[in-house]
Copies of this chain bind each other. A is one copy, B any other.
Amino acid sequence: MAVGPEFRRLEAAWIEGVAAMARAGAQVVVDEVFLGGADSRRRRRRALGGLRVLWVGVRCDGAVAAGREVARGDRIAGMAAPRADPVHRGVVHDLEVDTTHSESMGCARAIAVHVVRSAARLSAGFEGGSPECGPGSPRSGPAAPSRRGPGHSSR
């Protein structure tokens, strides 16, 4: 799948709009396929600057994804498998779930636990009580990453 300049222009506008919603106080869940891998993430990270973001990688084995594509009945066959890996290439997530062997509900619960814990950690600290995925104070100062520990690199 090749992506042209018009796609990039609209993608940029889309991210700007999502960021504005979050800055205005909405808790936003965005479900996207990073067609550009690490570049896709870089563009989003820049646009979402100053917001608390939880980056969750949702993985699925390519062959399993291809089977689900067929089973769903309303998908164009052959879209899922070739993208299963490239969309994660070079992207370090805060949390990864894998739907290959886990139910959607199990993955959702893992994410919810992560969000709740992060919020608790934050309210115990000095940054104020907003949970992740919503508006937050700008990342500022070296203390922030250390509060979260490795693998949770302060987004």
A26 is an interface residue with CB less than 8 A from chain B? yes
Pair B67/A105 contact, Cβ less than 8 Å: yes
The one of B12, B17, B20, B104 in contact with A68, judged by C-beta atoms closer than 8 angstroms, is B104
Total identical chains: 4
Closest CB in chain B relative to A116 CB, distance in Å:
19
Pair B26/A20 contact, Cβ less than 8 Å: no
Bitwise interface map of A from 15 to 48 toward B, beta carbon under 8 Å scored 1, else 0: 0111111111110000000000000000000000
The one of B9, B18, B22, B70 in contact with A25, judged by C-beta atoms closer than 8 angstroms, is B9
Bound Cα distance A105, B70 (Å): 8
The 3 closest A-B pairs by CB, nearest first: A67-B105, A17-B21, A20-B20
